[in-house]
Amino acid sequence: MIDLRRLPLFQPGARVPKAYKDAWAEEDGSAEARILEIADLAYVLQADGFPVREIFRRIGLVHTPQPDVRRIHSYSNPLYDYVGAHLKVHAPVYLELGGTLLSSALALAELWAELSAEQGRQASWPPPEMLSEPGPLMFVMVKADGDSQPEDRPAPDGSIAHLDLLLDQAKFSAARDLRRMKARAVPGDELRNYSTGGESFQLMMGSAGIALVRKGRSIDYVEMLMN
């Protein structure tokens, strides 16, 4: 991410506006993490073949506020406009740093996102032989407060609606993969468990989670358990 300390205003002796001080005091990179995630998701959805307006309608499902898709046009810069609207709600202090910083951060994010989307388009993991019955791993369905056990919940049926339940229980910073899966899902898709198998876990190389499956082929996944 962009290191604000390398900007001229952060050199010794420079007068630093309060907005910059406030933004740097946060030191969590949350604004730029959001920029990167939104750019990454936009390019993934573009690689999936969605038109511009549908791309940002889908992004709005997982990154509020939902944009007015009627005002989105491919000949403008919809990604810049959407990111600006999103940060205005979720990280307004960052916008006070000015449009130059936002443009630089978004340009870097787009470079990464374009490469990442192409790699993702060519990937197909987990393979079909690792997929099992539909539905998320049951242990993630348990409420964090412990007042509900897995057997208290209906058996998962592979419905994409389970993503909403998982998103409700996950912190924003930990739910990036789930948001991406929800934005990519189309009617007919389903969730399936995947696991690399007992032997891999015995060798301390195991991985298990949920996969977004379309016509029998996994197009995305979230790792829920590893050793």
pLDDT digits (tens, 9 = 90+) for 118-175: 777 777 789 889 998 877 665 554 444 444 444 555 555 678 888 888 888 777 777 8
Sign of CA pseudo-dihedral 170, 174, 176, 181: negative
Pick 21 or 191 by higher pLDDT: 191
Other CB atoms within 10 Å distance of the CB of residue 119: 10
What is the Cα–Cα distance from 211 to 64, expressed in whole angstroms? 24
- In three-state secondary structure terms, 207 is strand
Given a contact cutoff of 8 angstroms between Cβ atoms, the answer to whether 183 and 62 are in contact is yes
Instruction: Please state the pTM of the whole predicted model.
Output: 0.78
Name the burial class of residue 97, with classes exposed (0-12), middle (13-18) and buried (19+) by CB atoms within 10 angstroms of its CB.
Answer: buried
pLDDT digits (tens, 9 = 90+) for 77-111: 899 989 998 998 888 888 888 888 888 889 889 98
Other CB atoms within 10 Å distance of the CB of residue 118: 13
- In three-state secondary structure terms, 51 is coil
Q: Calculate the alpha carbon distances from 116 to 38, 159, 209 in Å.
A: 13, 27, 21
